[in-house]
A and B are shown apart, each in its own frame.
Chain A
Amino acid sequence: MHEGSITVRLPVDLREIERLNRIVRQFGDLNEIPSRALYALNLALDEVVTNVVRHGFDDRSGQEVVACITTRQGELMTVVTDSGRPFNPLDVPAPDVDVPLSERTLGGLGIHLVRSLMDSLEYRREKEKNVLTLRKRVR
């Protein structure tokens, strides 16, 4: 994996997520990010940005979400920033994945995936913005 970085600024709109995934795949190919890690990153980003689009704003027009991806020394670090309402995805309770079908709830699947796909997540509220840092170790 080569060292590099890319910043993608997107309008807050679900239709932009596919474009983000295409850009991330190209960046991943150029920097030789292993395919499993790239797949995990794309899915985690999809979940995080979908949350921002769905819940972050009353009025999404003119708003943006920014994803900055950096590869260095065996690590893939992604910082997602938005100026939506304060939201810490780490506060979302994890679904209990060990219960029988009838007791499984429909919520929390997205954040559970992000937690499982990444090695660490960090949230902070900074200058009226949500800043979520996702890290994944890459061999």
Chain B
Amino acid sequence: MQIKESKQGGVLILTVSENLDSSTSTIFESRVLAVIERGERRIVVDCGELEYVNSAGLKVFLLAAKRLEPLGGKLVICGLAPSVLMIFEMIGFARIMKIVPSLDDALQALGGNAAPA
């Protein structure tokens, strides 16, 4: 697993790639909680290069969304591959989290600027 971080128009973008499983999700969890801790409130997790997620990884998304909600923040997830999207839907996340196709959609959902064309 790899995590890249960038910022665009006040929105923090975390790009997570490869496998989010029981061995790697603790690293992802500390990273996500750290950015919330330091004050980031509008967060996109770009999963465009994410190949696999299990319940340990899913738990991090749930934890992040739950942390952000009472702080007035918001988590948006984008770029899910069909197989990964199916898992997010199976676990009911599509109802409680904002899941959109592309990074541009995610930035728009958070009121940030879309990437320049």
Query: How long is the Cα–Cα vector from A101 to B96 in the complex, in angstroms?
Result: 5
- Bound-complex Cα distance A98 to B52 (A): 24
In the assembled complex, the Cα of A43 lies from the Cα of B70 at a distance in Å of 32
By a CB distance below 8 angstroms, the chain A residues around B87 are 43, 113
Nearest neighbor of A106 in chain B, beta-carbon distance: B59
Minimal Cβ-Cβ distance residue in B for A98: B92
| Interface range, A side | 20 to 34
Q: Is the interface of B mostly helix, strand, loop or mixed?
A: helix
Q: Is the CB of A109 within 8 A of B91?
A: yes
Which one of B22, B52, B59 has the highest number of Cβ atoms from chain A below 10 Å of its Cβ? B22
Please give the distance in Å from B41's CB to the nearest CB on chain A: 15
Inter-subunit contact B62/A104 (CB<8 Å): yes
Q: A43-B52, A102-B66 are in contact. List 20 more A-B contacts (CB 8 A).
A: A14-B23, A39-B83, A43-B87, A47-B55, A50-B22, A50-B56, A54-B22, A97-B92, A97-B95, A101-B65, A101-B66, A101-B69, A104-B62, A106-B63, A109-B55, A109-B58, A109-B62, A113-B55, A116-B90, A117-B90
A14 to B58, CA, bound (A): 17
Contacts of B54 in A (CB 8 A): 43, 46-47, 50, 110, 113
B105: interface (CB < 8 Å): no
Question: From residue A96, how far is it (CB to closest CB) to chain B in Å?
Answer: 9
A32 within 8 A of B: no
